[in-house]
């Protein structure tokens, strides 16, 4: 079974078709130039500025983790790995 960059055991994530992640949208929205694409913006922007925008997503220790840290956005229960056969895992 193959795995995607996201760790999805079914390979469903389509990283190759997106030029920007959701959590970076705010940085792009306030810092872009008129008509500038996300790809061009992130080629231009200082990498440290992008890292700072993602700082709250850095790894937390097991002692610091809260139960809510294991619940995906829009979900009500904790994340758990489930593998199954599907057309995308071929």
Domain ranges of the chain: 21-79
pTM of the model: 0.52
Q: What is the pLDDT of residues 6-22, one digit of tens each?
A: 445 555 555 555 556 67
Torsion on CA atoms 69, 76, 19, 55, rounded to nearest 10: -20
**DSSP for residue 44:** H
Q: What is the pLDDT of residues 60-86, one digit of tens each?
A: 888 888 888 888 777 888 877 777 665
Predicted pLDDT of residue 2:
42
Angle at 46 between CA 40 and CA 47, to 5 degrees: 95
Predicted pLDDT of residue 14:
54
């Amino acid at each position: 079974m193959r795995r995607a960059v996201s760790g999805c055991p079914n390979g469903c994530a389509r990283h190759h078709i997106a030029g920007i992640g959701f959590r970076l949208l705010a940085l792009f929205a306030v810092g872009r130039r008129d008509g500038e694409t996300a790809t061009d913006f992130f080629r231009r922007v200082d990498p440290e500025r992008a890292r700072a925008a993602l700082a709250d997503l850095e790894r937390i220790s097991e002692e610091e983790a809260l139960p809510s840290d294991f619940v995906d956005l829009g979900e009500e229960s904790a994340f758990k790995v489930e593998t199954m056969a599907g057309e995308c895992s071929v």
